[in-house]
């Protein structure tokens, strides 16, 4: 019988993992999305959408679906679901592996300022008006209403609704990946002199970091949250190798 696998997704890597596993008859895979975007991209395996109802709900789902292994391939800033995954795996005894992107590290020419939160970034932008590109989730934008002296360019997958209470905010509705060339052109066209972003790691959103370096733009990077200590790997191939062991142990 195939091994039931649950992937906690919402990232490029989770999608790639689902695609790699879809043709493998020894695995029966479901990918789970939080439901943050109105029209999620298609996935190569069946998808479920929405919260589980906290850690107990996730543990119950794993048990009900006779899950053989859980893969936490969520975004490095999605700390709640990762904590729930660790606790649910521990309670149910279901093997868990985290697929986590290593953080970006600065290279010569980068002008990075590390900040604890979006609110801290809003304060650190300073009193003098700046032209700020916000590359954050829609839920993290409200703190910038406390700094209305700046002009903002805000990019999100779905429209920001209701719009922010900011006199000089412009909105871009776009989905990544974003390459360095188009990011450089976009930042220059809008006269951006500061970026607020997450240290997401990976390649899909690194374009703005490379573009900021080329243009000498300061980047305020939100510090990564603490994540649970669980076995982790950095690549889809490493997850596949780990799952091969899971299948072998179960004689599949």
The residues of the shown chain that bind ligand NAP, judged by CB under 6 A, are 8-11, 32-34, 36, 51-54, 57-58, 74-75, 77-81, 84, 137, 198
Q: Is 153 exposed, middle or buried (0-12, 13-18, 19+ CB in 10 A)?
A: buried
Give min distance, CB of 247 to ligand NAP, in A: 23
Confirm if 69 and 5 have CB atoms less than 8 A apart: yes
DSSP state letter for 250: T
For ligand NAP, the closer CB: 62 or 192: 62
- Residue tagged 């002199």 (tokens): 193
Q: How many CB atoms lie within 10 A of CB 35?
A: 12
Give min distance, CB of 20 to ligand NAP, in A: 18
For ligand NAP, the closer CB: 99 or 193: 99
Give min distance, CB of 206 to ligand NAP, in A: 14
C-beta nearest to ligand NAP: residue = 51
Give min distance, CB of 85 to ligand NAP, in A: 9
For ligand NAP, the closer CB: 52 or 152: 52
For ligand NAP, the closer CB: 117 or 149: 117
Phi, psi of 33 (to 5 degrees): -120, 150
Give min distance, CB of 21 to ligand NAP, in A: 16
At CA 233, angle to CA 71 and CA 72, rounded to 5? 20
Report which secondary-structure segment, H or E, holds 172.
strand 169-173
For ligand NAP, the closer CB: 33 or 132: 33
Give min distance, CB of 125 to ligand NAP, in A: 20
For ligand NAP, the closer CB: 31 or 193: 31
Q: How far is CA 106 from CA 15, 103, 182, in A?
A: 27, 10, 21
Q: How many CB atoms lie within 10 A of CB 70?
A: 25
DSSP state letter for 244: H
Of 250, 188, 168, 210, which Cα lies nearest the Cα of 2?
Answer: 250
């Amino acid at each position: 019988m195939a091994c039931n696998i649950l992937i906690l997704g919402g990232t490029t890597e989770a999608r790639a993992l689902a695609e790699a596993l879809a043709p493998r008859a020894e695995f029966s895979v479901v990918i789970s999305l939080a439901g943050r975007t109105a029209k999620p991209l298609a996935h190569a395996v069946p998808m479920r959408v929405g919260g589980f109802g906290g850690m107990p709900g996730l543990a119950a789902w794993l048990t009900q679906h006779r899950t053989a292994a859980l893969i936490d391939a969520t975004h490095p800033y999605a700390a709640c679901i990762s904590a729930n995954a660790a606790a649910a795996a521990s309670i149910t005894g279901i093997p868990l592996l985290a697929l986590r992107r290593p953080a970006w590290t600065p290279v010569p020419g980068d002008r990075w300022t590390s900040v604890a939160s979006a609110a801290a970034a809003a304060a650190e932008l300073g009193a003098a008006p700046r032209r700020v590109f916000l590359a954050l989730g829609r839920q993290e934008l409200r703190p910038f209403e406390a700094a209305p002296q700046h002009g903002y360019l805000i990019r999100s997958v779905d429209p920001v609704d209701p719009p922010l209470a900011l006199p000089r905010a412009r909105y871009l509705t776009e989905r990544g990946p974003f390459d360095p060339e188009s990011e450089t052109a976009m930042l220059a066209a809008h006269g951006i002199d500061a970026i607020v972003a997450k240290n997401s790691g990976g390649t899909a959103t690194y374009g703005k970091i490379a573009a900021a370096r080329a243009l000498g733009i300061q980047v305020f990077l939100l510090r990564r949250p603490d994540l649970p200590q669980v076995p982790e790997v950095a690549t889809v191939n490493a997850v596949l190798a780990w799952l091969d062991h899971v299948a072998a142990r179960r004689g599949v």
